[in-house]
Amino acid sequence: MPLVLSEREGAVARLTLNDPKSYNSLGLDLLGEFNAALDQAIADPAVRVILLTGAGKGFCSGAQFGAGIFDQGDAVGAMMRERISPLIETLHASPKPVVTAVNGAAAGAGVGVALAGDIVFAARSARFILSFVKLGAVLDGGTSQFLQRSIGAARTRALALSGEALPAQTAADWGLVWRCVDDEHLLATAHEMAQRLADGPPLAIAAIKQQLDRAWADDLAPALDAEAEAQSRAFVTQDLKEGAAAFVERRAPRFVGR
């Protein structure tokens, strides 16, 4: 049985973490399949958007316990650098937008997997748990950065130091995720957003993702200069001409990624 299901509907590639018995924990085999499926979706020219979710009652429970994980000592850092960190970086830096549908609990590094995407929907029953402290471990999976940038230092510190679960609705109210939706509507709502992005201009979407990441750490002047440079590149694309024509003609644009 594949540990990551990969399906395509039009220009949307859906990746489903598929180890529900372990609540889709990040074992080495699942990580290997996840990295491979993600690379394939990004490389496929027919794919414009990636939709990520989990099978069963949980989204991702973080590191897989057992298999001697607690006996690794300081070697655990090398495993993270080899398997988990590249996955988080690839998800976050993907030129194709990633829509995440958090169908249940996200815990530990599973929170980082959820938040590495661009637009995150959470089922009403979902919750986000920085469970590291309960094990005597520390933050990983990008959680030290993703949460502070989204909900601020005070809330992040409380969640990280207490290990308290954050309900989906509160996560949406605080701005950690885009929207909390009823469980039965989660996938349909996430797919609707994925399809909307798939119909959009792929070059502009990829450039906007880069702009937002760069501008976060830039001062205003270099951010403005980078915007001007990026806009110059956008204005010579076929998609820009199509978007302008569609606006004048009051019709839906047909973007081709050129």
CATH (domain of 240) = 1.10.12
Task: Give Cα separations from 252 to 50, 52, 187, 191, 246 (angstroms).
Answer: 22, 27, 25, 19, 6
pLDDT at position 118 over 90 = yes
pLDDT, residue 65, reads 66
State which residues form the domain around 245: 202-249
* Predicted structure pTM score: 0.92
* Same domain as 220, residue 139: no
Q: Are residues 194 and 207 in the same domain?
A: no
**pLDDT tens, 23-57?**
999 988 999 999 999 999 999 999 999 999 999 99
Same domain, 147 and 176: yes
Rounded to 5 degrees, φ, ψ at 91 are -60, -50
pLDDT in tens, 131-182: 999 988 889 999 999 999 999 999 999 999 999 999 999 999 999 999 999 9
Counting the structural domains of the chain, the total is: 2
Same domain, 52 and 122: yes
Dihedral-angle region of residue 254 (phi above 0 means left; psi in -120 to 50 means alpha; beta otherwise): beta
Q: Is the distance from CB of 39 to CB of 2 less than 8 angstroms?
A: no
Which of these three, 158, 183, 198, is where a domain ends? Answer: 198
**Whether residues 66 and 156 fall in one domain:** yes
Considering 157, 183, 198, which residue would you say is the last residue of a domain?
Answer: 198
Q: What distance lies between CA 232 and its chain's CA centroid?
A: 28
Is residue 220 a part of any domain in this protein?
A: yes
164 and 224 both lie in a single domain: no
